[in-house]
Amino acid sequence: MKKIIRIAIVLFAIVSGTVNAQTVAPKLENSLLWEISGNGLGSPSYLYGTMHMMCENEFQIKDKVKSAFEKTSKVALELDYDNPDEIHYMQKMATSAKPLSTVLSSEAYKELDQFLKLKLGVGASHFENSSLVMIISSVMLKNINCSPKMFEFEFMKLAGGRDMDLVGLEKAEDQDIAFKQSYTDEDYIDQLKFYDSQFFKSIAKDYNDENLMKVYTILTDKKIMGSNARNLMLDTRNKNWVGKMPKLMHENAVFFAVGAAHLPGNNGLVNLLREAGYTVKPIFK
């Protein structure tokens, strides 16, 4: 289970931080929790922007979030972690079908080897059968230097306590395809350099202050993203999710929990839901 949590953390962290920041996002109010109503809904649903990896001592679920959660009867996350097929696919994503030394160019392998020896104390040969996604996970967990927690898993626990249904807005395979279409191996290696302890420290404070636009700015810094990422990693996925959300909301009051970077922007979930005819308003208390 620890291995699954580790893989999940890095998948979500990468997804949250891989978008094109050159397009200025329309400013939203500073709230991570939003109520969705109108357009024929019998009762409101809620949208919450998560931070996929936080230190346990910084992690908190605020009372307003708990209150919204208790008003719903279904939880929708990016992935369905209750599905064994999803877990199996995530395990597959952590391994490399071919030895890493044969997948990377000699220059890229050497660069990775030197970086890992500096940061982790072991060379690339230690990860010969691991995917680059798994290597990024190891570097992230080393740099965060704490016991990490995920909102998604905590919401799953709360849902289990109330016998609530859990659904995923997409499949792990969908994320895998988006990753592969967005990034080269060299891109992944370059991104390793930017996930340092300061990155996690700065974003945790802004997140707990609910400074949504500041969080968005940090997560969409152009230093850690590829040029194709906006369309593949945010815009396309947001549009796919908004295509599924109405049916879910008209059947049940749903608590949606997805990475905070998916909320702002012209193609962010808040704006897309408004364009679809729903009233989406921030909840401050």
**Alpha helices per DSSP H over 120-260:** 132-144, 151-161, 172-182, 185-192, 197-208, 212-219, 229, 236-251
Element (H, E) at 54: strand 54-55
For residues 18 and 219, give the distance between their C-alpha atoms in angstroms, rounded to a whole number.
Answer: 7
Average pLDDT on 93-115 reads 92
Q: How does residue 168 score in pLDDT terms, banded at 50, 70 and 90?
A: very high
Per residue in 13-68, pLDDT tens?
444 443 333 445 568 999 999 999 999 999 999 999 998 888 899 999 999 999 99
pTM: 0.89
pLDDT given for residue 16 in this prediction? 44
pLDDT given for residue 175 in this prediction? 86
Better-predicted residue by pLDDT, 7 or 179 = 179
Element (H, E) at 34: strand 33-37
For residues 109 and 259, give the distance between their C-alpha atoms in angstroms, rounded to a whole number.
Answer: 31
Residue 35's DSSP bridge partners are: 46, 281
Q: What is the mean pLDDT of the chain?
A: 86
Poorest-confidence range of 32-36, 82-86, 109-113, 247-251? 82-86
Per residue in 181-220, pLDDT tens?
877 888 888 877 777 777 778 889 999 999 999 988 887 7
* Contact predicate 53/201, CB 8 Å: no
